[in-house]
Amino acid sequence: MTDSGFRLKGSVVTTVLLEIQTFSIDDIVFHLKEKINQVPHFFNQAPIIIDISKMKRGIRLEEFEELIQSVGALGLGVIGWRCDPEALPVWNASVTVPLLPASKARPINISPAIKEETSPDVVVKTVVEERLVPQSSKVITKPIRSGQQVYSEGDLIILNQVSAGAEVLADGNIHVYGALRGRALAGVKGDVEARIFCKSMEAELVSIAGSFMLSDALQNIVWKDSAQVLLVDDSLEIVPL
C-alpha cells in the first residue's frame, strides 16, 4: 500500500470506519459499493464514522458535506467523524455530524484468500470490538431453509443441514452436523477464539469475528468434506477434520 488513498474498516459489531488518506468522492463511493455488494450483511444499514486524521492535505467543508451525503446515499448512516486534534479544521463547528474521539477498536485483516482490491491505495479491513460473550447456546434440530436466519447469543448447534440462501450467526461457535451450504458467521461480537465446524463444507460464506471467506476460495481448500474454520494470526484458516 502507498501513503495515499483510504482504508475502509467494517465492523459486524457496531460501526463501519471509513479512513481517508486522499480525497476522491468517486473512488470512495466505488470501493464502498464494491464492499457492500460483496458482503451486504456486514454493511446493511450500518452506522459509519469518517476519519480524516491521515489526510495529506486539508479538506473543505463543502467537500466533507458532499462526502457525508454520498455515503448516506449508499444506505450507511454517518454518525460522526474523527480528525487529528492538532489539525482540526476551522470549519469543524459547522459540520452536521459530531466530532468523535479516537477509536479503540482493534483492526483484523480479512483473509488473504479474498480477492484484493484493484487499487494499491485501498486496503479493506474489519474492525472488531472486544466484548464479553454470553455462554448460552442454542440447539436446532430441523434444517435451516433458504431465506431463514438463525442467531445465538452463545454457541449455535445445528443437528441438520443449512441450505443455500440461509444464514446462521452466533456470538460463539457454530456446529453444523450436516451440509453447510448457506452463510455461517461465528464470533459476531468480536470473539476471535470462535470456530465453525461442519460435516460438509459447501458454504457461500464463512466468517469469524468479521474476517470472512467466500465459496470460491473455500472450493480451493476443502469442499464437500468435514472441516473447521478458525482464526490464526488474524487470518482465516480452513482445516479438514
My answer on whether 31 and 106 are in the same domain is yes
Residue 155 has pLDDT above 50, yes or no: yes
pLDDT of 14: 45
Q: What is the dihedral of CA 42, 211, 8, 49, to 10 degrees?
A: 60
Please state, rounded to an integer, the average pLDDT across all residues of the chain. Answer: 78
**Nearby residues of 67 by Cβ (< 8 Å), 6 or more positions away:** 23, 25, 28, 50
Residue 158 has pLDDT above 90, yes or no: yes
pLDDT of 121: 45
Using the CB atoms, write b or e for 17-50: b if 16+ within 10 Å: bbbbbbbeeebbeebbeebbeebebbbeebebbb
Between CA 202 and CA 207 the distance in angstroms is 14
**Of 168 and 79, which is predicted with more confidence?**
168
Cβ of 140: how many Cβ atoms within 10 Å? 17
My answer on whether 97 and 165 are in the same domain is no
Beta strands in 21-115 (DSSP E): 47-51, 77-82, 106-109
pLDDT of 225: 94
- Its domain, for residue 232, covers 137-240
Q: Find the range with the poorest average confidence among 43-47, 119-123, 169-173.
A: 119-123
pLDDT band at residue 51 using 50, 70 and 90 as cut-offs: confident
Whether 162 maps to a domain, the answer reads yes
**Of 212 and 40, which is predicted with more confidence?**
212
Residue 232 has pLDDT above 50, yes or no: yes
3-state secondary structure 99-151: ECCCCCCEEEECCCCCCCCCCCCEEEEEEECCCCCCCCEEEECCCECCCCEEE
User: What's the whole-number mean pLDDT along residues 163-189?
Assistant: 92
Query: In 3-state terms, the chain is what percent helix, strand and coil (to 5)?
Result: 15, 35, 45
Residue 4 has pLDDT above 70, yes or no: no
Between CA 15 and CA 128 the distance in angstroms is 9
Q: What CATH code is carried by the domain that includes residue 194?
A: 2.160.20.70
Grid cell digits, residue 127 = 474492525
Q: Is the pTM value of this prediction over 0.75?
A: no
Whether 1 maps to a domain, the answer reads no
Of 103, 128, 153, the residue at which a domain comes to its end is 128
pLDDT band at residue 75 using 50, 70 and 90 as cut-offs: confident
Of 97, 128, 159, the residue at which a domain comes to its end is 128
pLDDT band at residue 98 using 50, 70 and 90 as cut-offs: confident
pLDDT band at residue 40 using 50, 70 and 90 as cut-offs: low
Of 71, 95, 128, the residue at which a domain comes to its end is 128
Q: Residue 230: how many CA atoms within 13 Å on its side-chain side?
A: 9
My answer on whether 17 and 119 are in the same domain is yes
* 3-class SS of residue 59: coil
Q: Find the range with the poorest average confidence among 81-85, 110-114, 123-127, 182-186.
A: 110-114
Contact 197, 177 (CB under 8 A): no
pLDDT band at residue 143 using 50, 70 and 90 as cut-offs: very high
pLDDT of 135: 53
Whether 196 maps to a domain, the answer reads yes
Grid cell digits, residue 220 = 480451493
Grid cell digits, residue 55 = 489526510
